[in-house]
Structure 1
Amino acid sequence: MLCSQSAVIIQVYGPSFWAEKERWWRTMELKSQMKALNYTKRLLTGDTDRMLPWQEEPQKPAFSQQNRRAVPLPRSTPEQQGVSSAQLEQLVRQLAEIPGAAVHNLIVIRHGRRIFSAGFAPYSPDLWHVTHSLCKSVTGTAIGLLWDEGNLKLDEPLSALFPEHINMFTSRRTRMLTVRNLLAMCSGVNFREAGAVLEKDWVRSFFEAEVQFEPGTRFDYNSMNSYLLAAIVRRRTGQSVLEYLTPRLFDPLGFGPVAWETCPLGTEKGGWGMYMMPEDMGKLALLYLNGGVWHSPDGTSRRILSESWVRQATTARIRGEQGAYGYQMWPLEGGAFTLNGMFGQYAAAFPQTDTVVVLNSGSANLFTDSPAFTLLKKIFRDPASFSETALPDDPPAAQRLARCSNRLVFGRTAPGDLPAAAPLRWYQRLAQKLLPPPPPAAPTEAETAARLLAGRSFTARDNRAGLLPLIVQCMQGNHTPGLQAVSFVMEADTLTMRWQENNQVYALPLCFDHPCPCVLEIGGEEWRAAAVCRMTHDEDDHPVLKLLVCLPEHSSTRILKFFLLPEGVQLQFDESPSMLGALRQMEGNPQAEMFLQVFKDISFARHQVLQFCCPRLELQESSPS
């Protein structure tokens, strides 16, 4: 049929048709590249007032469990499921010691029961967390349900699903694309997440983009494949992905609140932009570990996904530099697999030990490999790590694990165990009465910070960095004009930082023993926030107030350092994960060539990123009123 159509086209339009078609495609590609270059240049030169040709509305909703409260997994002690509390304590301490692991939450599920959970304050398993690409497995599950219901074929051509986007200029490779190509990340379509920021109709842009190779022949990780899968769910069912999955997945598994950002035309992004409860991430991995059958806490069982779909999704379909890939998830050795999102989001299933592990992080890794995940695989893939039968109760080990997990703080090593206070002997009590009192203790970090900063106010000039990390600004389309002023006041015996940007003032309590949570409304979006505070010194022994401004719903952290110098106060911005780290990964990447042409060389590009997201400002102190 296609051959006969081509013959007709050639007869009507002549041989020049193919040359015209090539020019048309090159024009579309050039327009897309120029939009991306213009966006990048505006971003890195600080011109963020008109980033997009349309007004982007805030999408991140406020966290609430009022409308949807999770049904928790059954709970158990570790020992009852063959795991020692001492092993888990050692794991937590090892994770806290790994440089750059930046662990947020850890949940361990064995034999279908949650045996351990902990958050590194201010992060908590009781608060939803961004999934990044982990939600691709949610989108893939929606496709699996459609396939199980007989409403979709994996080899169905995309041209049949979206015929309005097929025309005489559509390439042969584009016409060959199937649902299976999207699932296995082997479509070769060159319309990517970065380009989606600049386009309004993502489906149209997907079909207009170049297909770089024969579909199905190479692995090419592209989040827009997942977006198109979400668009297929909407096209085939008339429902959004959330609407479709609620009675089929979220309700049966007892999910808590979920939110999913959408494209400009209202379809879920499919491959990113989702917020889920950490335990619900584990529930989805547990469903696949159990072959598609869900065992409810009330003892009933229900098949959600066919065994055939589970086998197809968790089996390697194609391989690339990052490893094997199934259908929107990552198969591992020995039948294990992981749902994975960038910056260290994992929901990994290990059939060898009948275990699911959920890890939320803010690490710098973009794919599955990371030191933290390597440690998890080493422990949970080994059947010798755990017992198949229950272990004897170990109250002292359980108490040590509880004390350790309850005192975890993000960015700090795991606390040492607190020995029980021994009663004073008779001579110690006598000495307390007869001897003079000991000298006063040195000032605490909180007292030092209050002495040096309370009551002081500062203004910032020529600055575009704000409280939200640059990565978050780009992901949310929530750009800032930058810090305008900052002051420090005492409120209820707590030093509080008042931060002004975009003519709004945000109050952030600075608690040094344990992060104090607060809620900030930035650019129309509500963000949970808390600062991990330290008083330290620079190399010249000048005092430095270091703040890790955590966003417990997200993977990114804003880092602020106030250098209290004799000549004045300087403020250094940074963030973790770092935009500079992402830029370093671009070096040597052919796809970065257009980017580098804008900024002449990589050194200048790095300088621009450094000046925009990591500037060091000389603050101007205001006279007290």
Structure 2
Amino acid sequence: MDPAALADVVRTLTALPELHSIMVLRHGHVIAEGWAAPFASDRLHELFSLSKSVTATAVGFAVADGLFDVDDLVLDLLGDRAPENPGDHLRRMRVRHLLTMTTGHDTDPSLAVFPTGGDWVGEFLRQPVEHEPGTHFVYNSAATYVLSALVQQVTGQRLLEYLRTRLFEPLGIEDATWEQSPTGVDTGGFGLSATTEDIAAIGLLYLQDGVWEGRQLLPDGWAAEATRLHVPNGDDPENDWAQGYGYQFWRCRPANSWRGDGAFGQYIVGLPEQDVVVAMTSGRQEMHEYLQVLWDRLLPGLADEPSPPTAHGDLDAAIAAMRLDPPTGEPTSPTGSRLSGRTITFPPNPGGLRSAVLEVGADHDRLTVEVGDQRIEGVVGRVDPVAGTATAGRGSPTLLRGSFRRREPEDVLVSGAWPTPDTYVLTFRFVESPFCLTATATVDGDAVTVTLSWNASFGPPTLPPIAGVAA
């Protein structure tokens, strides 16, 4: 591998906002790894739908254990939670249809299933199934949740526990966490948090046909079966989301390649013909651009000829430059001193922001915010970020929820600066997730206008400006 090409990959990815980490492995060895501060090798990172590939791994173990088969009918396994008169399409739905996102639903039923707050499996089975299973691809996180519930039903263990001795401990994965449904089932299609090295190890295991340190860790043949093309899902040759789907793995444009894929750029990419695995975490809305960098810049640099040792310095420098610093500016402002301790009130707004009080200190500020029915107090670093925790659960107002956050409390780094005398910028970086919230307050006399924006979001990334008045 040409280290100059690797350096080019890292620099190009870093130039795209919000690369959090990258690991590149070839022939089973790590050839490049880096984390953009404040992210670090020992921090967990929320993986979103990359969780699906791990759920499929649990299914593979359960099938090998003889607990069920991919061709078993879903209602034969979960019929006690079915509607009273299930339709013919639902009756013909099999486990493999859950794995391949071909359950027969015309549109993704997840938004109808997950907000119910009760039995998600029962709600899934009550959704209309308009197509013959196996004939219509629709990306469907609720289907993956049903796989998780099925594994828990037949094993008596959460996915996290069932995989601990079979997968996590052999790979050295120690601290992974998984969110749960209201009924105590790991969410399956999302909710797994792990380190970059953890997901790189899973990718390498699949690239090596399930063999780890000479031992057949995955069931024989499962890696090839899970990552191969099972169903088509589009006809655009330039779209990595239209190259087909396996068992909770996507196919990619390069020949025989595959990936595990989570929202905002959480990736395991397997390139079997080049014997390469790439693991990435990030927080970018336009996540396809990361893959394009790999195809355009990584693939041409793959060569078996030795590279000169002098080329490694360029790679080291590119990795050392990976940082995600908060906005810069003056640590103090006369405007900040004038507003210090005064209550800024806001009319009703989509963010649920009711009031804010900024107390200016010698080397840090203190911020008190009322959002919805919550009162939140925290310290704001004016030179270096201040570490704290934040509650941003599913029921929280839009301001805190961002991209439908589910984990709480979360580690957050809070920073504040005055890029101009009358503009105060606050950043809240959730360092175990893809998200960073930026609040920009523009002051004109006693009028304060706040704009809230997320680097990435399932909903609108920026809310309309909120105009308030300082009393």
Q: Does 1:306 align with 2:177?
A: no
Percent identical pairs in the alignment equals: 27
CA contact 2:231–2:246 (8 Å) conserved in 1: yes
Do the aligned partners of residues 206 and 353 (structure 1) sit closer, same or farther apart at CA in structure 2, a change above 3 Å counting? same
Q: Give 3-state SS (helix, strand or coil) of 1:358's partner.
A: strand
Provide Cα deviations, 1:243-263, integer angstroms capped at 9, x if missing partner.
Answer: 110000000110031111111
- Choose the corresponding residue for 1:126, options 34, 42, 48: 42
Provide Cα deviations, 1:333-372, integer angstroms capped at 9, x if missing partner.
Answer: 312111001111111111233221112122224xxx6112
Do the aligned partners of residues 224 and 619 (structure 1) sit closer, same or farther apart at CA in structure 2, a change above 3 Å counting? same
The letter for the 1-side match of 2:247 is Y
CA contact 1:122–1:517 (8 Å) conserved in 2: no
CA shift, 1:284, in A, is: 0.8
- Choose the corresponding residue for 1:520, options 385, 389, 398: 389
The letter for the 2-side match of 1:317 is H
The residue correspondences of 1:128-207 to structure 2 (distance < 5 A) are 128-166=44-82, 168-189=84-105, 192-195=109-112, 196-207=114-125
Q: Does 1:446 align with 2:330?
A: yes
- Could you tell me how far apart the structure 2 residues matched to 1:92 and 1:412 are? 20
Residue correspondences, number = 442
CA contact 2:264–2:456 (8 Å) conserved in 1: yes
Match in the other structure for 2:346: 461
The letter for the 2-side match of 1:571 is V
Do the aligned partners of residues 89 and 124 (structure 1) sit closer, same or farther apart at CA in structure 2, a change above 3 Å counting? same
The residue correspondences of 1:142-541 to structure 2 (distance < 5 A) are 142-166=58-82, 168-189=84-105, 192-195=109-112, 196-295=114-213, 301-321=214-234, 322-323=241-242, 324-332=244-252, 333-365=254-286, 370-380=288-298, 382=299, 384-394=300-310, 397-410=311-324, 445-447=329-331, 449-454=332-337, 456-457=340-341, 458-463=343-348, 482=353, 484-491=355-362, 494-501=363-370, 502-511=374-383, 516-522=385-391, 525-531=408-414, 535-536=418-419
Q: Give 3-state SS (helix, strand or coil) of 2:424's partner.
A: strand
Q: Give 3-state SS (helix, strand or coil) of 2:347's partner.
A: coil
CA contact 2:83–2:125 (8 Å) conserved in 1: no
CA contact 1:135–1:270 (8 Å) conserved in 2: yes
Do the aligned partners of residues 406 and 565 (structure 1) sit closer, same or farther apart at CA in structure 2, a change above 3 Å counting? farther
- Could you tell me how far apart the structure 2 residues matched to 1:535 and 1:615 are? 21
Q: Give 3-state SS (helix, strand or coil) of 1:352's partner.
A: coil
- Could you tell me how far apart the structure 1 residues matched to 2:137 and 2:324 are? 36
Do the aligned partners of residues 116 and 565 (structure 1) sit closer, same or farther apart at CA in structure 2, a change above 3 Å counting? farther
Match in the other structure for 2:399: none
CA shift, 1:114, in A, is: 2.2
- Could you tell me how far apart the structure 2 residues matched to 1:352 and 1:258 are? 30
- Could you tell me how far apart the structure 2 residues matched to 1:386 and 1:174 are? 47
Match in the other structure for 1:544: 423
The letter for the 2-side match of 1:227 is Y
The letter for the 1-side match of 2:413 is A
The letter for the 1-side match of 2:249 is M
- Could you tell me how far apart the structure 1 residues matched to 2:233 and 2:76 are? 29
Do the aligned partners of residues 152 and 83 (structure 1) sit closer, same or farther apart at CA in structure 2, a change above 3 Å counting? farther
Q: Does 1:571 align with 2:450?
A: yes
The letter for the 2-side match of 1:351 is P
CA contact 1:129–1:553 (8 Å) conserved in 2: yes
CA contact 2:326–2:427 (8 Å) conserved in 1: no
Q: Give 3-state SS (helix, strand or coil) of 1:227's partner.
A: helix
The letter for the 2-side match of 1:228 is V
Do the aligned partners of residues 220 and 191 (structure 1) sit closer, same or farther apart at CA in structure 2, a change above 3 Å counting? closer
- Could you tell me how far apart the structure 2 residues matched to 1:510 and 1:197 are? 39
Q: Which consecutive residues of structure 2, in runs of 5 or more, have no partner in the other structure?
A: 235-240, 394-407
Deviates more, 1:267-276 or 1:570-579: 570-579
Q: Give 3-state SS (helix, strand or coil) of 2:50's partner.
A: helix
CA shift, 1:533, in A, is: 5.6
Match in the other structure for 2:400: none
Q: Give 3-state SS (helix, strand or coil) of 1:207's partner.
A: helix
Deviates more, 1:129-138 or 1:369-378: 369-378
Provide Cα deviations, 1:400-455, integer angstroms capped at 9, x if missing partner.
Answer: 54444334332799xxxxxxxxxxxxxxxxxxxxxxxxxxxxxx8334x3454247
CA shift, 1:267, in A, is: 0.8
Q: TM-score, normalised by structure 1?
A: 0.66
CA shift, 1:213, in A, is: 0.3
The letter for the 2-side match of 1:445 is G
- What's the RMSD between the two structures over aligned residues? 2.6
The letter for the 2-side match of 1:130 is E
- Could you tell me how far apart the structure 2 residues matched to 1:554 and 1:210 are? 34
- Choose the corresponding residue for 1:90, options 8, 14, 21: 8
- Could you tell me how far apart the structure 2 residues matched to 1:122 and 1:499 are? 24
The letter for the 1-side match of 2:186 is E
Provide Cα deviations, 1:511-567, integer angstroms capped at 9, x if missing partner.
Answer: 3xxx52502242683222224666445xxxx74333332111112221211213355
Q: Which consecutive residues of structure 1, in runs of 5 or more, have no partner in the other structure?
A: 1-81, 296-300, 414-443, 467-480, 583-612
CA shift, 1:389, in A, is: 4.7
Structure with greater strand percent: 2
- Could you tell me how far apart the structure 2 residues matched to 1:167 and 1:210 are? 11
Q: Give 3-state SS (helix, strand or coil) of 2:255's partner.
A: helix
CA shift, 1:163, in A, is: 2.4
Q: Give 3-state SS (helix, strand or coil) of 2:185's partner.
A: coil
Do the aligned partners of residues 412 and 488 (structure 1) sit closer, same or farther apart at CA in structure 2, a change above 3 Å counting? closer
- Could you tell me how far apart the structure 1 residues matched to 2:444 and 2:110 are? 43
Q: Give 3-state SS (helix, strand or coil) of 1:325's partner.
A: coil
Match in the other structure for 1:426: none
Q: Give 3-state SS (helix, strand or coil) of 2:309's partner.
A: coil
- Could you tell me how far apart the structure 2 residues matched to 1:580 and 1:237 are? 37
- Could you tell me how far apart the structure 2 residues matched to 1:248 and 1:197 are? 32
Do the aligned partners of residues 319 and 411 (structure 1) sit closer, same or farther apart at CA in structure 2, a change above 3 Å counting? farther
CA contact 2:203–2:268 (8 Å) conserved in 1: yes
CA contact 2:82–2:126 (8 Å) conserved in 1: no
Q: Give 3-state SS (helix, strand or coil) of 1:445's partner.
A: coil
Do the aligned partners of residues 406 and 564 (structure 1) sit closer, same or farther apart at CA in structure 2, a change above 3 Å counting? farther
- Could you tell me how far apart the structure 2 residues matched to 1:462 and 1:508 are? 24
CA shift, 1:286, in A, is: 0.8
Q: Give 3-state SS (helix, strand or coil) of 1:239's partner.
A: coil
- Could you tell me how far apart the structure 2 residues matched to 1:559 and 1:401 are? 31
- Could you tell me how far apart the structure 1 residues matched to 2:361 and 2:165 are? 50
Do the aligned partners of residues 372 and 543 (structure 1) sit closer, same or farther apart at CA in structure 2, a change above 3 Å counting? farther
Match in the other structure for 1:424: none
Q: Give 3-state SS (helix, strand or coil) of 1:87's partner.
A: helix
CA contact 1:483–1:499 (8 Å) conserved in 2: no
Do the aligned partners of residues 355 and 403 (structure 1) sit closer, same or farther apart at CA in structure 2, a change above 3 Å counting? same
Structure with greater helix percent: 1
